[in-house]
């Protein structure tokens, strides 16, 4: 079972979109996939067609160890075979404060997900767009980190910070964690900046071995599919978005 955090401390790089569509593309390839939505905004939950307000048990209940909230009740099936989710909720934002003085607080997610060990091929975890206790919980559980990086100068410059964070977690909390790949996102060949940043990623000594061959191109269909709560690989199969995420799934399966 591969436990992969999709993470970047910078927002707006295509993190949640990657969780949703990579999960769907892996399921389409025949993998059993569990998405764990650890972002209080619950966009991954909504993007898979689930209303966070209608779920009686969510990830907040599990990491808060609320009485009577079991993981079986928290796991929700989606409309697509092989793809399930533990939804998030805005209440999750409060967990930061509630757990601040609790011993072992960074290990709550690890303990909550113990019962699913070996039941899936992939567990994909969405993270908040900041370094927080929720992100640390994800890094304490995950063994691999996939980093979406917008092909923009600011996103490129923010990579070093994330690498430092993962290394600090590896040394202090989770020796198993490693960055498995950098995924270029929002690539637009019509601009000068996108190809330039992609070239920098592919030539930088720190990053070049990690950059996926797959590039996620700018594609309005991805936003359209998110709005209707349907992954792009099921929403419009011939679109750039669907083609790119299917390619990413195949590349990830080979890594």
For each of the chain's 255 residues, which pLDDT tens digit applies?
A: 999 999 987 777 888 999 999 999 999 999 999 999 999 999 999 999 999 999 999 999 999 887 777 899 999 999 999 999 999 999 888 877 787 777 778 889 999 999 999 999 999 999 987 778 899 999 999 999 999 999 999 888 889 989 999 999 999 999 999 999 999 999 999 999 999 999 999 999 999 999 999 999 998 888 888 888 889 988 888 888 899 999 999 999 988
Phi/psi for 184 (5° steps) reads -65, 130
pTM: 0.93
* Burial 122-139, CB ≥16 within 10 A → b, else e: bbbbbbbbebbbbbbbbb
Across the strands, what pairs with 3? 123
Q: Angle at the Cα of 28 (from 148 to 41), degrees rounded to 5? A: 45
Phi/psi for 66 (5° steps) reads -70, 135
């Amino acid at each position: 079972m591969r436990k992969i955090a999709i993470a970047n401390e910078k927002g707006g790089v295509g993190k949640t979109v990657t969780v949703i569509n990579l999960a769907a593309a892996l399921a389409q390839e025949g993998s059993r996939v569990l998405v764990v939505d650890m972002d209080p905004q619950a966009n991954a939950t909504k993007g898979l067609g689930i209303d966070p307000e209608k779920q009686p048990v969510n990830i907040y209940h599990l990491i808060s160890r609320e009485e009577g909230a079991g993981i079986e009740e928290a796991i929700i099936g989606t409309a697509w075979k092989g793809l399930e989710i533990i939804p998030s909720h805005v209440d999750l934002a409060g967990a930061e404060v509630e757990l601040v003085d609790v011993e072992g607080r960074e290990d709550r997610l690890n303990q909550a997900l113990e019962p699913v060990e070996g039941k899936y091929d992939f567990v994909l975890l969405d993270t908040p767009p900041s370094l927080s206790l929720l992100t640390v919980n994800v890094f304490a559980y995950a063994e691999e980190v996939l980093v979406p990086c917008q092909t923009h100068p600011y996103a490129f410059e923010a990579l070093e910070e994330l690498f430092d964070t993962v290394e600090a977690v590896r040394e202090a909390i989770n020796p198993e964690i490693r960055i498995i790949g950098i995924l270029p996102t929002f690539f637009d060949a019509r601009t000068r900046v996108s190809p330039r940043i992609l070239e920098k990623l592919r030539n930088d000594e720190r990053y070049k071995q990690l950059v996926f061959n797959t590039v996620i191109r700018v594609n309005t269909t991805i936003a359209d599919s998110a709005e209707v709560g349907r992954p792009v690989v099921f929403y419009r199969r011939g679109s750039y978005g669907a083609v790119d995420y299917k390619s990413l799934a195949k590349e990830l399966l080979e890594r």
